[in-house]
Structure 1
Amino acid sequence: MSTAPQAPEIFDRPVRAMRRDRAAANFAAHDFLYRHMADELIDRLADVKRDLADVLVIGCSDDHLAARLRALGKRVICTDPGYANAAAACGGVQADEDALPFADESFDLVVACGTLDSVNDLPGALLLMRRILRPDGLLLASFFGAGSLPVLRASLMAAEGDRVGQHIHPQIDVRSAGDLLSRVGFAMPVADGETLTVRYRSLFQLLDDLRGMAASNMLLSRAPVLRRSVLGKAAELFAQAAEPDGKTPERFAIAYLSGWKPDASQPAPARRGSATVSLAAALRPKKD
């Protein structure tokens, strides 16, 4: 009997869990992007009129997101790839997103904040999230997307010269993420994004933030630790991109996804060819 092909392992699962656990103790000093994404997801949830009572939070770097959901009267369970994060989240469950251990149709809402950009099998993870949602349940997600960290990437590449290592993992663009939602069976998928600029006094301050938010390199094929001379050169190049006050702007592109588990009660798209007005007529200037 044939089996479905396994997704290639891109990320080092034990290293990913270890780095999230190491970041947990001092996460509050580096949580500004996570909180921004979490608050944006809560704002988007405010536009939903349905009562989505049972919620799974994926990525519980702290209790901020879960606490806000509980304040809305939700019953919340948390899961995280890191043991320390999961244990700190009111007895949460440690699990990778592409191996969620929950029964089908267990939740009305899944909120994934800040982790889906480093999942080995993202299609499989999204498919599992659709399975554990009840009919007409909602997925909300946010993560760092394509276009993030361009100054860091350019500085490292230039500093390494002809022997460039892979220090920043591949990034998912918003359009591809939206297409993926459709392919795994979500109804009414929406994908959009925003770009946040954060200004840093030095390359080392940026690297400290990345480690502190568990966003450093966790690829299986990651390059060796940078030599001191290469890191020093990268720091010089990073500083050359600074603005007059000495701070260098770095960009974080954030992708947001939403999609619904299909249900018969949802509005169906109009049948192709059923429109009573042609597109040309709709776009024709109106006469006075």
Structure 2
Amino acid sequence: MSTQGSIMNVFDRQAKRMQKDRVAKGYNEEEASVFDYIKDEFGYRLSDRICDIKRNFKTVVDLGCGRGHVTKHLYKDMVETIYQCDISPLMLEQASISPDVPTHKMVVDEEFLPFDESSIDLVVSNLSLHWVNNLPGCLAQIRHILKNDCALVGSMFGGDTLYQLRVSLQLAEIEREGGFAPHISPFTTVSDLGNLLNRAGFTMLTIDIDDVTITYPSMFELMQDLKGMGENNCSWSRKPMLHRDTMIAAGAIYKEMYGNDKGIPATFQVINFIGWKPDPSQPKPAQRGSGEVSLKDLHRVEDLTKQIKELKDEGGSSPQQVDRLKTAAEQLEKDIQKASKIRTEPENNGDEDPRKS
């Protein structure tokens, strides 16, 4: 691992391009589409998030498009023009396009974006940015090319992805070879990604996690599928090969520690995120000290709910009980209204904000 200034040079980008070119031709006598199941699933989910945003985006960049996992789900009521970008020419050549939106293909490295400042309305990235060396610089470039009040919508593999495989390989190498080397790419965490997006200048962040577990017959089928997806390791510190004994031991450890009657589970943790380029028209948070309700008083809602339940359970209908129930209900309603009130100071003259988290 080497450094260039403050930028970590972790991945061999040329090796990653070659890996993607290789799988575009088909892997292990299977068509490339056979291995698209994870990227297709999250490509569809990403397009669904775009559909939830109440806006028609004029110019869209699908960054690291792969075989068109997102673009093929975009329609003219969502976007007007799409630019598909990928580092692999062969992968880009096979990429599916939108059925009714003009789509242009460009060979682009995610670390060097060729678009003009403030020229793009939406940038989409589906399970691609985890191979970028200079992720802070990439996010800064994306913010640079976006127009004001426009969005980056994306997904990345998270830190718990393939933790079962990572643990099994490390234990097997320690047992058979007396040490271990990294065989799985380092992934980012939710907190790190949030910090990076803030540092790049994005606002109104929305971040959530999807955990998907897929069962394979054995560790070897899992590793074959990872190669077929073009997701095999390309870090500079990777070992050129795995010894046969180590592989067999890792497969046995994987099955012993995590296996079940159906096979072995593999976890794919995906971090979904949305960030907006700042604009004066966006809602602003209220100033410090302007709140009317203290969070420490929220426990009163639960207390009042218990009081009402107790009154209902007492039975009878005396005037005193009716008055107590009525007073408690009125107080509960007031407290809920105060606690749920969120004060903002928008500068858009009352117009509806088009974003939807």
For this structure pair, what is the TM-score category when the shorter chain's length is used for normalisation?
A: over 0.9
Q: 2:46 aligns with which of 36, 41, 44?
A: 41
Query: What is residue 269 of structure 1 aligned with on the other side?
Result: 285
Q: 2:213 aligns with which of 197, 200, 203?
A: 197
Give the number of aligned pairs.
284
**CA positional deviation for 1:278:** 2.5
Q: Paired residue for 2:89?
A: 83
Match status 1:243 vs 2:248: no
Offset at residue 73 of structure 1 (A): 4.3
The aligned counterpart of 1:62 is 67
| Alignment-derived partner of residue 23 in structure 2 | 23
Distance 1:197 1:82, change over 3 A: same
Q: 2-side partners of 1:123 and 1:182: how far apart?
A: 10
User: Matched residues in 1 for 2:239 and 2:148: separation?
Assistant: 44
Counterpart in the other structure of 2:154: 141
1:6 CA displacement: 4.4
Q: Distance in 1 between matches of 2:80 and 2:272?
A: 21
Q: Deviations over 1:76-119 (max 9, x none)?
A: 00111222223444652222222111111121110001111111
Hey, what's the Cα distance between the residues in 1 that align with 2:34 and 2:227?
A: 11
- The residue that corresponds to 1:129 in the other structure is 142
Structure 1 gaps of 5+ residues are none
TM-score by length of 2: 0.75
CA RMSD of aligned residues (A): 1.8
Specify the code of the residue in structure 2 equivalent to 1:61: G
SS at match of 2:196: helix
- The SS at the match of 2:155 is strand
Change (3 A) 1:280 1:242: closer
Q: For the Cα contact (< 8 Å) 1:87–1:93, is it kept in 2?
A: no
Deviation at 1:70, TM superposition (A): 3.9
How big is each residue's C-alpha offset from its partner over 1:17-63, in whole Å with a ceiling of 9 and x where there is no partner?
Answer: 11111122333111111011111111111221122121000122213
Cα distance in 1 for residues equivalent to 2:298 and 2:167: 46
Q: Deviations over 1:200-237 (max 9, x none)?
A: 10111101111111111100111231011111211222
| Separation (CA, whole Å) in 2 of partners of 1:191 and 1:40 | 14
One-letter amino acid of the counterpart of residue 78, structure 1 = Q
Larger-Rg structure: 2
Change (3 A) 1:243 1:73: same
Q: Is the contact made by 2:67 and 2:92 (CA closer than 8 Å) also made in structure 1?
A: no
User: 1:182 maps to which residue?
Assistant: 198
Distance in 2 between the 1:13 and 1:124 partners?
Answer: 15
Q: Find the aligned partners of 2:84 and 2:22 in 1 and give their Cα distance.
A: 18
What are structure 2's unaligned runs of at least 5 residues?
27-31, 96-102, 305-327, 329-357
Deviation at 1:268, TM superposition (A): 0.9
Alpha-carbon separation, structure 1, partners of 2:134 and 2:215: 33
- Tell me the equivalent position of 2:324: none
Equivalent in the alignment of 1:207: 223
Q: In the alignment, which residue of structure 1 is the partner of 2:318?
A: none
